[in-house]
């Protein structure tokens, strides 16, 4: 064999080895690319799932916040309406005929006399003359006198002579008691 044949054989062997190395390199590159694409797809899928979870969470939070705002507005509107009903009720009782007030004041004074024998009666300005009349006509109320007018819509406030005891039989007090006990029923009637 000649030198040229040996050189050609070495060249041929080198070329085959280069081709084998290139083929092996291409296979490695394809394997690496496949792994990278699989990892990228996994990362993309995880990112999409995380984005969907985050979006769902944010939507739920916003919906909850909006529901709270609406509920607060509804409750405020209901409270405003109940306050108007309360005020209207108190005004309606104050607007009842004089005969009603005279009868009510007589009964309230008799009731107060069972607890306070002598005292000062405070009423609104409208009822001062009526109470003076009742006190003058009713012997069991002789220990009472009319005091300064009170800022009440009706009824009486009786104070003992020494000021140690006070009974509030004003219409507002009675309405407050009824209101407290009947508020749930009133709310159900108005808002259902």
- Judge contact between 124 and 149, C-beta under 8 A: yes
Q: State whether 126 and 85 are in the same domain.
A: no
Domain total of the chain: 2
Residues 130 and 141 in one domain: yes
d(CA 119, CA 157): 10
Same domain, 84 and 119: no
Instruction: Say if residue 147's pLDDT is above 90.
Output: yes
- Identify whether residues 123 and 166 lie together within a single domain: yes
- The answer to whether 119 touches 159, Cβ cutoff 8 Å, is yes
| Final residue in a domain of this structure, among 95, 121, 149 | 95
- Residue 166, domain CATH: 3.30.2320.30
- 43, 69, 95: which is the final residue of a domain? 95
* d(C-alpha 19, C-alpha 26), whole Å: 10
Q: How much of the chain, in percent, has pLDDT values that exceed 90? A: 38
For 57-76, how does the pLDDT look when each residue is reduced to its tens digit (9 = 90+)?
999 999 999 999 998 998 88
- Model confidence at 89, in pLDDT bands (50, 70, 90)? confident
Which of left, alpha, beta for 127 (phi over 0: left; psi -120 to 50: alpha)?
alpha
Q: Same domain for 90 and 179?
A: no
Mean of pLDDT over the chain: 87
């Amino acid at each position: 064999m000649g030198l040229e044949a040996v050189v050609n054989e070495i060249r041929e062997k080198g070329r085959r080895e280069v081709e084998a190395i290139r083929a092996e390199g291409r296979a490695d590159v394809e394997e690496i690319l496949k792994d990278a694409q699989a990892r990228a797809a996994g990362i993309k899928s995880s990112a999409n799932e995380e984005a969907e979870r985050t979006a769902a969470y944010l939507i739920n939070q916003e919906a909850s916040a909006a529901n709270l705002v609406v509920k607060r507005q509804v409750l405020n509107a209901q409270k405003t309406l109940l306050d108007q009903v309360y005020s209207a009720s108190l005004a309606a009782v104050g607007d009842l005929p004089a005969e009603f007030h005279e009868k009510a004041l007589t009964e309230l004074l008799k009731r107060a006399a069972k607890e306070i024998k002598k005292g000062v009666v405070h009423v609104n300005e409208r009822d001062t003359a009526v109470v003076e009349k009742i006190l003058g006509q009713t012997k069991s109320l002789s220990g009472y006198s009319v005091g300064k007018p009170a800022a009440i819509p009706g009824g009486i406030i009786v104070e003992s002579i020494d000021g140690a005891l006070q009974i509030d039989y004003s219409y507002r007090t009675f309405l407050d008691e009824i209101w407290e006990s009947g508020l749930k029923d009133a709310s159900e009637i108005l808002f259902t």
